[in-house]
């Protein structure tokens, strides 16, 4: 699993030999307090890989949330929008 803000999971898959094994995990900050973990599939990510990561996430006491594959994922996109909006108010 990878945690990236600048590349999509599909972009990372494209340069690997095991595209079906690539998946993203994004832990919210502060990790010790936040329960949500974004799980991001690439276009080639295998269902078994997703299910394994989902299980691991639950076993460590977190809540897995599947999100679409785009730069920054959901939480960072919301955060950056809020920061940009604050700059203009």
Consecutive H or E run containing 80: helix 73-87
How far apart CA 35 and CA 60 sit, in angstroms, is: 10
Which domains can be identified in the chain, with CATH numbers?
Answer: 9-87 (3.40.50.720)
pTM, full prediction: 0.76
Q: Which of 83, 78, 69, 87 is nearest to 28 (CA)?
A: 78
Confirm whether 87 is a catalytic residue: no
Query: Which residue has better confidence, 4 or 53?
Result: 53
Phi, psi of 40 (to 5 degrees): -125, 120
pLDDT score at 88: 76
Structure tokens at 89: 């108010």
How far apart CA 62 and CA 64 sit, in angstroms, is: 6
The answer to whether residue 79 scores a pLDDT higher than 70 is no
Residue-wise pLDDT for 53-74, tens only, equals 999 999 999 999 998 886 655 5
Considering the candidates 26, 39, 53, 65, report the single residue annotated as catalytic: 26
Residue-wise pLDDT for 11-54, tens only, equals 999 999 999 999 999 898 899 999 999 999 999 999 999 999 99
């Amino acid at each position: 699993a990878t945690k990236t803000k600048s590349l999509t999971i599909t972009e990372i898959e494209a340069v690997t030999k095991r595209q079906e094994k690539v998946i993203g995990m994004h832990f919210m900050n502060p990790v010790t307090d936040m329960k949500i973990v974004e799980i991001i599939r690439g276009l080639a990510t295998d269902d078994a890989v997703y299910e394994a990561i989902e299980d691991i996430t639950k076993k460590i006491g977190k809540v897995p949330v599947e999100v679409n594959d785009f730069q920054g994922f959901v939480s960072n996109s919301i955060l950056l929008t809020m920061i940009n909006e604050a700059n203009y108010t």
